[in-house]
Structures are given as structure tokens and as C-alpha cells.
Amino acid sequence: MGFALALWCVPSWSGILQKPDIERRFGHPYHVEEKLSDIPVWPLTSPLEHEAGPVLYVFESIDIAPLPGFEGNPMNFLIAIDRKGNFVDVELLQQREPVFTFRDLGGQKDRPLKEFIAQYLGHSIADQYLIAQDAARNKSGGPPRNHAGQTMLDGVAKATTSIRIINQTVLTAALEVARAKLGFADQKQAGPPAQVKDEIFEVQSFDALMRDGSIGHLRLTNAEAEKLFAGTEGEGLDAYAAAHPDKTFAELFVAYLNVPTIGQAVLGKEAYAQTMARNFDHQHLWWIATRGRFTLVDDEFIPGAQSRRLALAQDGLFLEFRDQGLELRQAGGPGDLGASRVFGVNADASLDPGRPAEFKLTFSRAKGTGLPSITYKAATLTYAPPQRFFTFPPKRLPPWLLAWQARAVDMAVLLAALGVLSVVLARPRWVSASARRLRLFRMGFLAFTLIDVGWLAQGQLSIVQVTGLIKSLRGGHGLSNFLYDPVSLMLMAFTVLSLFLWGRGAFCGWLCPFGALQEFVGLLAQRLRLPQLRLPPRLARRLERGRYAVLATLVVAAVLFPTLGETLNEVEPFKTSITLGFDRPWPFVAYALAVLLLGAAYYKFFCRVLCPLGGKLRRLNWLPRRAECGKPCQRCKAACRYDAIEPSGEVRYDNCFQCLDCVGIYHDAQRCVPVIVHQRTGKRLTVQVAAAPAALPAGPVPGKALPQRATGTP
């Protein structure tokens, strides 16, 4: 009941800073305004550019994009972007990622994380960011950038999943602010913007381009304008419109000049060349013209500024649509235009010229004098040049899928290994019947698990993933963070499935890197003839129940005391020995080595006594047994290093690591005592307690079959 109530109490992630904290970080010449109500952002103004409005926007990522980290808690960064969408500052405020705590990564604590986020400074949020290990840096110390707008970030070894989540947190938070305050278009669904085919030029007339939609056109009659004001205070105020309903109230022409065919048809070859030569910043340029009673340019129009009568939006977000101050006479089109201007949008605004954009004309009517009541209405032209003028890059894949692509080789190798292991566990007879063959296969697979799955692919499953799952669900964040680590996700899926089939043995005995390391240490200790501890059965059972107490403690701590839980999770030496390869401060290394030394004396000590992983979900008694097993034969019990076989011959599957030694003995006529006796004498061993099950096919024994106790693998 207490666990359910704890899950119900969902925390609300929020920022930790107040206005004075921002003022201490951003001094002269900036002035920190009050936090906005529509989006949790502090605008910063400068007395040097008082009329320009905010010059910086400062915010905490946890207020906008509280993406759960690997451990389950969102990280928090203080981010500052300028009005062009460039990163000015990225500061770490809070993080609980296991790989960056307790002075990990060679005693550097979170210094690698801080060095990673410092790479964003000076780069635009509109860039495509790619993460690579040991990326070549330029002379200024920042990451290199190519002409395709890609920014390469140098990742942090052994922290791939955390780094991807950090990158997603920083960019998601910054883009949300940019879309809300800087007019950046939302292209999360549309993908990268289309690119103009500069090499394509068609000699076309203005009228021909009007007909095929290359030039957008909107005509609004007086009657249509009057209809827009129907039911408002502006209705019936235009006497001329009432007298001449069919005449033009407003006519709008729009042409995307960056397309050579359209630009030259509108401006002429010479004027088009001059216009493009002046376009140093590679802005998106449109020719905008109006005619009729309503004109684009009024008495309040300021060349080089935005027009109050015209706006541009895409995906529902308005962009900064600014007059370019060009006095040009168009070469084609109608000659009785009321206004003809060139407007532009910054190239960093993430606008896609190949997709429809909305050009909004706003007009008003005033009722009364002195303090008139003003009614505003708008007409919208949706315009996109024909697709033949563009190339359309493929849509950007979601970040989690990029992570899967980057680890395709690791996933393929692991998938093949899981397939082989599944076949062996489902049909173990051939592998296990020969002690030498089983030993070679098992040692080879465990070496693969330790080196490839553990140290190289970073696929060590941990209680951190369980507690992280709990925290993510409590925080209402879902499980998306697990998608960033496909290797661990594959292992988790296989482990859950195998728990139902074989119990804990499939993972604990074959796929746990630390378990493999313990097994090698234990076998080395036996080869060196070091004393081996065998505890009395009753004491061993009590000690083995301790891992369930460890699991309960860690789960409760994760729910009720998250910070304490992060410390208690260090009961697992996995991070020290596998994730970080013993590259940690000495107390953690000493603890991991102590656990391994205990495993040298008491076979796989940690797995049997302390490990919180494992479960009781098994549904199959898959190990074959004979009626003589335990009554009187104790051959398999003596060979089991895990003490998972009772004197009665019964298998305790919760303690079985599926090493297949007993399966090999069962199928080996040279090692199975009941089979040996039967071969030599033709008699069965004396059964001390009558066996109830019916006889089933036994091992490879000539002549009469021996009865089995339970269903086994043929």
C-alpha cells in the first residue's frame, strides 16, 4: 500500500533559480526583466539597444524540457540564447546521472559533462548537431563545423546514453523558447528545409508563373471585406464598399525570389542579380506587392522594419518578416500596384521555403472619434512555390532512432549472440553432453559477455534501470529515455522473456558482465587451489535471502528518498568494474575488488548474496531429473558450484545460474552415476523414497530406459 501511495505522489519538476540569481550571473550591461507568464523565461535587455527589446533569453531547461535522464531524474541546465538563436551560455545546475556522480571518470566528477555543454556556445540552435567520440577540435577549442550546417560535438566515453539525453534536453528547451520568442518555425514533423535548385532556370513570363502557382495571388472584393466585419462594430462603416461591392478592396501578390526562375521573371535579370548580391546573409526573400484600396505601405510604414499590415507564419508560428529597404521596379506583372517591396526572413529562422507559408494581411476599421473602437480583421494567402524548384532532404530521424543507427553493429552482434544462447538453452544436450565442449562454449560466451557486452557495448544491466523506471513513471515522463540505449533495451527485453521460461539463470549465468567477471575470478581461485568456502545449507539460504532485502531497500529509497537511493545503488559494483572499467576513486575500486575477492572464496558471492536483480517469474521446470537424483545419487549436487540442488535432488531454480553442468552430467553416460551403474550391472540404484512420476526417455543408455522424475529436455 505504501509503495502504491508513493507512486501516486507525482513530483512536479520546476526550476531552482530566482531573478536575483540571474542578475548575479548576468551583470552590466544587461537588465533582467521579470519572468514571463506565457513561458518560464527571463528576458534580458540592454541600455545600449533599448529599442531593440530583449537581447537575451535565459531559462532553466527543467522548466521547459524535463526529460528524464538515464537514472530517472531530469537534468537541469541554465541556458541563454540571443535573439538570433545562438547559444550564449549553458550552465549545469543539477544532475544525478550515475556516470557523472561520486567523482567518476578518473576522479573528474562532472567536469567532462561541463566540457561537453561548453561546446554549444557560439552555435545556433538551428544547426544539426552530431555527437562523436574524440571529435577533432578546431584551433579555438570548439567543435568543428562544416558547410552543411552540422556541428560536431565531442562526446564523453562511457556516457553515451547520458550525453544523448543531455543534447536532447538542451536543444529541446532552446528550440521551444526560440519558437515562442524568436519566430523559429516548428519543423519537428516536417524534417529539414527544402533547398532551392539554383541550377534550374526557366524563361517564364509573369502571367505563366501566376497560372502555375509560382507567384501567389489573393484578391479580396469590397463585399468579401465587408463580410469579414459582419457582426462586429466595424460592420457597415465603409460606404464605398457598400456602393461598389464587386470592386477590389485588396489584392496581394507574393513571389519567392530565391528561386531564379521566379526572381528573374519578377525583377528582371539585372535587378535580380543585384538583389541576390546584396543578400549576404542568405535570407529568404519575397517580392510583396499590393493594389486596390488597401495598400501595404501606409503613413506609419518604416523602410527596413516590419510592417504592421503584413505578417508571415509557418506551422502556426510567426516569423520576423522584415522589409529589406530595396527600391526596385518589377520587370513583370501589373503596372498599377499600390506598393512593391522586398521582404525577408533570417536564414536561421528554420523556415522551409518548399512548404506552405501563410501571408496575413491585417486591416482595421475605426468607430467613433477621440477614442475610437478599432476592429481588426485579416485575410490570409497560403503560398508555396512549385516543388520542381526544390530538393527535399529526407526527414530527420528522431534522436533515439539515430542512437540505434549508431549502434547497429553492437545490436547485430548482440542479437546473434542472444539467438545462439536461446538455441543452446532450449536444446542444451549437444553442447552439454561433452564436458570439454561445454567448458569451451561457456568460457567463450562469458568472455564475450564481459568484454563486448560489458566493457565495449556498455550493456551492463543494473538496479539503476529499475529505480530509474520507477522515477520516470512517478514523474509522468514515460519510458522514452530507455530508447537511447538500445543494447541495454535488448538485454532487458530478453531478460524479462527468459525469466518466464528459465528463471534468473539466463541473464545471471550468461549475460551479466559482472557475473562473468566473478566467474572468471572464482575459476582462477580454484585453479590456484585457494580455499573454497562451502556454508552450511541453512546459513547459505538465509544469506541468499539478503538480496531480496537489498532490492526492497533500493526500491523504497528510489520512491521515497531519491537522493539517498542514488547513494545506496552503489551496493552494486557494476558501475565501477564494468561501466567505468575501475576508473574511479579508490573507495569504489576497493569495494569492487573486495566483492571480487569474496567471490574467489565463496563462489559468485555477490550474485548469490547481495545482487538485487533476479526474479521468481519462471514457469518451466526445464532441468531433466531421474528418480535416482538425490535418492541416493548426489553426483549433480556435488558438482553444482551454486548449491542450487537440494540433497533430495530437487533444483532450486531461484538459485540456478543455468551453467548446464548438471544437464551435461545427465546426458553423459560416462558421468551420470545411475547410467554408469545400469550399464555395468543392468540394475538400478536403490531408490530410498518411491518416485511417483511415470518413466520418460532418459539419456543415451543402451537397453532398458531409466525412469525420470520430471520433464526434461530431450
Together in a domain, 350 and 464: no
Together in a domain, 703 and 636: yes
Together in a domain, 52 and 114: yes
690 confidence band (pLDDT: 50, 70, 90): very low
Q: Which of 118-127, 142-151, 678-687 has the lowest mean pLDDT?
A: 142-151
CA gap 411, 109 in Å, rounded = 30
Domain boundary among 132, 156, 181: 181
- Residue with more model confidence, 52 or 235: 235
154-182 pLDDT, tens digit per residue, is 877 777 778 878 888 898 899 889 888 88
Per the domain annotation, does 365 fall within a domain?
yes
Cβ pair 707, 695 in contact under 8 A: yes
Q: With CA atoms as reference, report the closest residue to 357 among 117, 190, 519.
A: 190
Per the domain annotation, does 507 fall within a domain?
yes
Per the domain annotation, does 164 fall within a domain?
yes
Together in a domain, 444 and 557: yes
Grid cell digits, residue 292: 486596390
pLDDT at 541 over 50: yes
Together in a domain, 97 and 209: no
294-310 pLDDT, tens digit per residue, is 888 877 777 877 787 88
Beta strand segments in 575-658, E: 625-626
Per the domain annotation, does 282 fall within a domain?
yes
367-421 pLDDT, tens digit per residue, is 887 788 888 888 999 999 999 999 988 877 777 887 888 889 999 999 999 999 9
How high is the pLDDT of residue 514? 95
DSSP string, 442-506: HHHHHHHIIIIIIIIT-----HHHHHHHHHHHHTT-TTGGGGG-HHHHHHHHHHHHHHHHT-THH
Per the domain annotation, does 397 fall within a domain?
no
Per the domain annotation, does 534 fall within a domain?
yes
Peptide bond just before 353 cis, omega within 30 deg: no
Together in a domain, 215 and 255: yes
Question: Residues 353-379: what's their mean pLDDT?
Answer: 87
Grid cell digits, residue 455: 566493457
468 confidence band (pLDDT: 50, 70, 90): confident
How high is the pLDDT of residue 81? 96
Together in a domain, 384 and 416: no
Together in a domain, 219 and 282: yes
Together in a domain, 575 and 630: no
CA gap 8, 223 in Å, rounded = 59
How high is the pLDDT of residue 695? 35
Grid cell digits, residue 80: 541563454
Per the domain annotation, does 190 fall within a domain?
no
What is the count of structural domains for the chain? Answer: 4
Together in a domain, 54 and 202: no
Q: Which domain holds residue 318?
A: 195-391
Domain boundary among 129, 147, 181: 181
Together in a domain, 278 and 329: yes
Together in a domain, 535 and 644: no
Percentage of residues in the chain having pLDDT higher than 70: 84
Domain boundary among 181, 215, 239: 181
Q: With CA atoms as reference, report the closest residue to 461 among 488, 436, 441.
A: 488
Per the domain annotation, does 242 fall within a domain?
yes
- Residue with more model confidence, 159 or 654: 654
pLDDT at 659 over 80: yes
